[in-house]
A and B are shown apart, each in its own frame.
Chain A
Amino acid sequence: NSSSPTHLQHEDVETLVEKSDSVQLLKLLKKVPKRVLGVLSNLSLAIGEMGSVAALMALGTVIEQGETPDFYFEKYPEENPVFGFFTWRWVLGLGFDHMFSSPIFLGLLVLLAASLMACTYMTQIPLVKVARRWNYLNTSESIRKQEFNDSLPRASVRDLGVILMGAGYEVFLKGPSLYAFKGLAGRFAPIGVHLAMLLIMAGGTLSATGSFRGSVTVPQGLNFVMGDVLNPIGFLSTPTQDFNTEVHVNRFYMDYYDSGEVSQFHTDLSLFDLNGKEVTRKTISVNDPLRYGGITIYQTDWSISALQILRDDEGPFNLPMAPLKLSGDKKLFGTFLPVGNTDSPTVKGISMLARDLQSIVLYDQEGKFVGIRRPNSKLPIDINGMKIIILDAIGSTGLDLKTDPGVPIVYAGFGSLMLTTCISFLSHSQVWALQDGTTVVVGGKSNRAKIEFPEEMNRLLDRVPELAQISQTK
């Protein structure tokens, strides 16, 4: 007999398999992405995320960034916590001292990106599909519910369609129902906005993980190799052949206004390849960098490297200038010309101080002020029996080098964000109509042009011809 209880039937096997745990788990796992997407695309969650990102950024501007731990111990002590609970433990523990690269902030940004992706997939793209289905309204009541509504006692919906087409609407007619819209772009712009945001975030991530950066201060007349200066930032950074280029600083100078303020910083640079051939030469200034092979060189700093002097008509001697610390960010450089026995432990000499390349202040052996000289005036000065002529003050230029693969993507994101935000400002209007006996019921709405839309509709409806002969349409 086939129906022996000891043998399992095929159906029993199936139900058994269904009820087993592993299959249930598999089904649950398939549902999870859908659920997760559903949760992520919740608008309130997105608003909450944006709000907390804003709050964290505000906090990041209030708390000083990038200071030593001692600073936070002092500023947010445990004995006297700010607002009663905020101590340095909060700051250092949560990473608030480097807020904009801290895990909590970056995690929120990742969550926001996930929300954006989920939202675009779940709600926006279906919106596109819905828009393609020309949704007719089939009852007069639903048409009268619209923002703008009117009825034409003796008219034909076909005439209305013709008028609307003349006014630039796309018209769709199905039996007695009419649907028309104008300005489709205004409906799809929000999708574009979110995609542009995602593009910007992707570009920013690429910049953070794949770029090279470096700064260097080069005295006038010296050179450096790009590869020595550029340091990788993230794990995706790979150097290129152009890193072997040698940069030579021909000249560094500053332009001044009449009242002494600096008008512009200029550095004359020449680039040489591995064979020593000059590949490019350009004078850069602050808003005008040099671009070569994906690497960009910016003018960002300056310094004084040496003073060239004649002593008793001998020379020229180059005295290196050292930076002296002052409060604030005004720079002061000084150098020292020893006089007399240079081997004695208490050697005395002439000090020369400079705040910029235009004037040098000289002090004698006792530290007394002697005079001021402008480097290109060639006027000699007598100090302690020596005749000093200051020939030149040689400056150094501070350059920042950078290569960033994410920049094209980020620029594309910027451009599309600007464009789509502009487009979303355009108006998008929709009109529905239904032939109800001899009356045409018209309704419409617009997303932007609240005032102009009723006026425009009134004008168009006035142009619909009134039917003289009434023909019954069913």
Chain B
Amino acid sequence: MIFSTLEHILTHISFSIVSIVITIFFMTLFVHEIVGLYNSSERAMIVTLFCITGILVTRWIDSGHFPLSNLYESLMFLSWSFSIIHMVPKIRNHKKKNLFSAITAPSAIFTQGFVTSGLLTEMHQSTILVPALQSQWLMMHVSMMVLSYAALLCGSLLSVALLVITFRKNMEIFCQSDSLSFLIRPIFFDKIQYVNEKNNVLRNTCFLSVQNYHRYQLIQQLDRWSCRVISLGFLFLTIGILSGAVWANEAWGSYWNWDPKETWAFITWTIFAIYLHTRTNNNWGSKNSAILASTGFLIIWICYFGVNLLGIGLHSYGSFTLN
């Protein structure tokens, strides 16, 4: 009894924190920037991580099975993965990760907000596990899949950011307006200051070329980071799909039935394998591979959500073997 109460408390706390962070974010974006609150959002992310971990652990203890058996639990796990991916660079003490955080932190916050909001209350209850899911493979397969989705989503969002920056002509919005500056400013602060100090006279004329140089650097960084994250996500996706195939063989006798969920996971894997291959060939350029990774974003959502939603509408959602 105490564990379900604890889980309830943690859900409320995490929702409150998430609401506050989103409020701060939108305030900063549209109204006025408060520089001091940047650190608050970092602290909030750490607290959210602890809350989500607590929720998952108490759910595990309360229901007796690994908390990944329905959509609610897997979304919770997804937001936990986003938080972990957000935290990892900080642990390894890479200082220049503001770019990365700009993608992972909002993802974690929005996913967690969606999960703990009132939209999914009917799934909150701990459910029983159907016979087919009572296996040790559940832990490995589904957790790897959700982790890979989180990593690949981050990577493809970074590619989307890269495309956005490539296609933006004016750099004004980055250097002067308040909108994204509480995320981006720490990168450019020193450089702009340096330029200002050095060359006050030519400031206006040099500004544009300095802007272009920074933009170029930003694109390079985004490119590198998206490639790294997508490689990691690809590794997890490979392990997830293969462990799923082995599990299917143990449970139902066939390691690959072409049912929609498995097929779409394989399609996602193929798309990102193509992405990795376009990067080995230098002629393709970073822009084209970024476009590819952005389509990967859509495909992951189809794979994760779309298949479940469509499966309700279609006639018979079942598995068909190769016969």
Contacts and interface: CB of A to CB of B under 8 A. Distances in A.
Given a CB threshold of 8 Å, the question of whether A touches B is answered with yes
Interface of A: 43-44, 46-47, 50-51, 53-54, 57-58, 60-61, 64-66, 99-101, 204, 208, 213, 233, 257, 259, 261-265, 285-287, 289, 296, 298, 300, 400, 402, 407, 410-411, 414, 417-418, 421-422, 425, 448, 450-451
12 contacts: A51-B270, A58-B263, A58-B264, A58-B267, A61-B307, A65-B258, A100-B258, A208-B322, A213-B323, A261-B130, A285-B131, A289-B250
Interface of B: 94, 128, 130-132, 134-135, 224, 228, 231-232, 234-235, 238-239, 242, 245-246, 249-256, 258, 260, 263-264, 266-267, 270-271, 273-274, 277-278, 280-281, 307, 314-315, 320, 322-323
Given A286-B134, A289-B250, A425-B232, A65 B320 contact: yes
A46 B253 contact: no
A257 B131 CA distance: 11
A400 B253 contact: yes
Contacts of A407: 249, 255
B320 A66 contact: yes
Given A257-B128, A298-B252, A414 B246 contact: yes
A241 B224 CA distance: 58
A208 B254 CA distance: 11
A289 B253 contact: yes
Contact of B224 (A264, A425, A450): A450
Contacts of A422: 235
Contacts of B263: 57-58, 60-61
A287 B322 contact: no
Given A101-B322, A418-B242, A43 B281 contact: yes
Nearest to B238: A421
Nearest to B137: A287
Interface of B is mostly: helix
Given A400-B252, A402-B254, A417 B238 contact: yes
Contacts of A43: 277, 280-281
Contacts of B271: 54
A54 B267 contact: yes
Given A259-B128, A263-B131, A421-B238, A64 B314 contact: yes
A425 B128 CA distance: 38
A50 B268 CA distance: 11
A60 B271 CA distance: 16
Contact of A263 (B128, B224, B242, B278): B128
Contacts of A285: 131
A407 B253 CA distance: 10
Nearest to A204: B256
Given A264-B131, A264-B134, A287-B250, 13 more contacts: A43-B277, A50-B273, A54-B274, A57-B263, A233-B323, A262-B130, A285-B131, A286-B134, A287-B131, A298-B252, A400-B253, A417-B242, A418-B238
B251 A61 contact: no
B267 A47 contact: no
Nearest to A67: B315
Nearest to B133: A287
A414 B245 contact: yes
Contacts of B251: 286-287, 289, 298
| Closest CB pairs A-B (n = 8) | A287-B135, A286-B131, A54-B270, A402-B253, A100-B258, A414-B242, A61-B260, A298-B253
A57 B267 contact: yes
A410 B134 CA distance: 24
B128 A287 contact: no
B15 to A, nearest CB: 28
Nearest to A410: B255
A91 to B, nearest CB: 16
